[in-house]
Amino acid sequence: MRSFLRATALFTLLAGTGASAQVSSSATEDSLARAVLKELIEINTAPSGGAMSTATRAMAARLIAAGYDEGDVQLAGPDAAHQNLVVTLRGRDRQAKPVLLLAHIDVVEALASDWSMDPFTLIEKDGYFYGRGTTDNKGGAAVIIANMLRWKRERFVPSRDVIAVLTTDEETTAEAGIQWLLANVPRLKAAEYALNTDAGGMLAGKGDEPPRFFVQSSEKMYQTFRLEVSNRGGHSSLPRADNAIYALARALAKVEAFHFPVMYNEVTRVSFARSATLAKGQVAADLRALAGGARSGPAVARMSREPGINGNLRTTCVATMLSGGHAENALPQRATATVNCRIFPGVSEREVQATLERVVGDTSVHFSTVGVSTPSPASPLRPDVMGVVESASREIWPRAVSIPVMENGATDGLFLRNVNVPVYGVSGPLYDGDDDRAHGRDERLSVRHFNETREFWYRMVKGLLGDATRM
């Protein structure tokens, strides 16, 4: 799930320009990365295509051909259709915890009739790569694989093991992807931290302000509730006060009007503080108030009207589906609504349900959970990680300001954070907040920004894990 816009919607009213440096880029490295991206794009890994394992096997073949030992290139998953890729670049200290590089290769559906071109053919036109998955998340996967190939060719030996993970089930349940891997490949849970290509990134915008390099360091927990009212119904000619639809409507109106209390964590406080330095006027003052921990007052009220900021301030719940009744001439016997909640880290689903039940205040409305939620504690803002991420990003994008953010949605990183592996979303590519096409028609990625991102990841990992050495 391409999470960049959900993370950066927080700051759309702050957006600046996205000027980048003229990074020296090797034509050889550019060509190799393009070939990897092309191969990934042209394997249909949408659910209807069912070729997720074909894509991971193709990447495994490239890695083995480049010199990786077959024992360090693992295809693993619950079934033949979902063989995830786990490849290890061996480090000097085998006792040290590894670092994970994370991407997913499954994509959402793309109908050729909806596109102006074949969504599963890589098209290069007007400075862009077009194709389903270019931004979500095959571009990220290609960046990781291209660099894994480069490091092997350069005989780079990191200070500790680097494990690249390409998952095959991020866009749906994650059960066959990262969840299965964490349950069956124990060394992944022992990682020092993970770097995720499917979150964070660079926001472009208007004006002459510097670009924002967002580092996703926290995610909200996902939980859906079903609200149901049922009774005996009856003939529509004899209306009664206990109408199931009316009772449910009153409950939903109360949910709509309710605001969960304001909360903060380290990530959101720093995020508001850094963003305040880039804002002007009332917006800057309001962000400073949030950075200071304000829990009520005019600043909180104003900022709560911005959906992205509101999502970073509290748990949010919203009605997303509704059904009721069985005949036009009968009183409804049942009415149901689906309410989706994005829960602030540290708050349990039971607390949220209890709050909603109290707010509704009607025992005729029955609450139940849909699916199982996964806690997602915020990742600590480690100076050793954040410092290198910031310095590497400025080498590529000199004016960039690094800002940690909390994701209002969710990625594969959610499940790693749940087993105490910190995750930092550092996608890299520069995005236009008004033209992000992930999951949409004619999905595309700037060729220049793709190559810049590959170089950024190369420098970032080298900066985190030591200078190159020769085997």
Over residues 202-257, the pLDDT tens digits come to: 876 556 778 889 999 999 999 999 999 999 999 999 999 999 999 999 999 999 99
pLDDT digits (tens, 9 = 90+) for 144-163: 999 999 999 999 999 999 99
Per-residue pLDDT, 409: 80
Res 328 pLDDT > 60? yes
Could you tell me the pLDDT band of residue 14, with boundaries at 50, 70 and 90?
low
Q: Which domains does the chain have, with CATH numbers?
A: 4-218+379-465 (3.40.630.10), 220-370 (3.30.70.360)
- Other C-beta atoms within 10 Å of 390: how many? 17
> Is residue 8's pLDDT more than 50?
no
> How many CB atoms neighbour CB 54 within 10 A?
15
pLDDT of 144: 98
> Mean pLDDT across the stretch 113-135?
96
pLDDT interval class at 29 (50, 70, 90) = very high
| Residue that has been written with the tokens 């949408």 in this structure | 46
Percent of the chain with pLDDT over 70: 92
- DSSP state, 98? P
Give mean pLDDT, residues 325-352.
Answer: 96
The DSSP string of 384-418 is HHHHHHHHHHHHHSTT-EEEEEEESS--THHHHHH
Statement: residue 310 has pLDDT above 50: yes
| pTM of structure | 0.90
Q: What mean pLDDT comes out for the span 81-96?
A: 96
Note the pLDDT tens digit of each residue in 177-198.
999 999 999 999 999 999 999 9
The confidence score (pLDDT) of residue 434 equals 64
Q: How far apart are the C-alpha atoms of 115 and 113, rounded to whole Å?
A: 6
Q: How confident is the model at residue 437 (pLDDT cuts 50, 70, 90)?
A: confident
At residue 471 the predicted structure's pLDDT band, cuts being 50, 70 and 90, is: very low
The pLDDT assigned to 17 comes to 40
Instruction: Please report which confidence band the pLDDT of residue 24 belongs to, taking 50, 70 and 90 as the band edges.
Output: low
- Bridge partners (DSSP) of residue 191 are none
pLDDT tens track for 54-86: 999 999 999 999 999 999 999 999 999 999 999
In this prediction, residue 201 has a pLDDT band, given cuts at 50, 70 and 90, of confident
pLDDT of residue 206: 57
Least confident of 209-218, 318-327, 419-428: 209-218
Helix or strand run (H / E) with residue 296 = none
pLDDT tier for residue 389 given thresholds of 50, 70 and 90: very high
pLDDT band at 436 (very low <50, low <70, confident <90, very high): confident
- pLDDT tens profile 258-272: 999 999 999 999 999
233 Ramachandran zone, left/alpha/beta (phi>0; psi -120 to 50): left
Q: DSSP H helical segments within 263-378, as ranges?
A: 266-276, 281-291, 298-304, 307-313, 349-360
Residue 187 burial (CB count, 10 A): 13
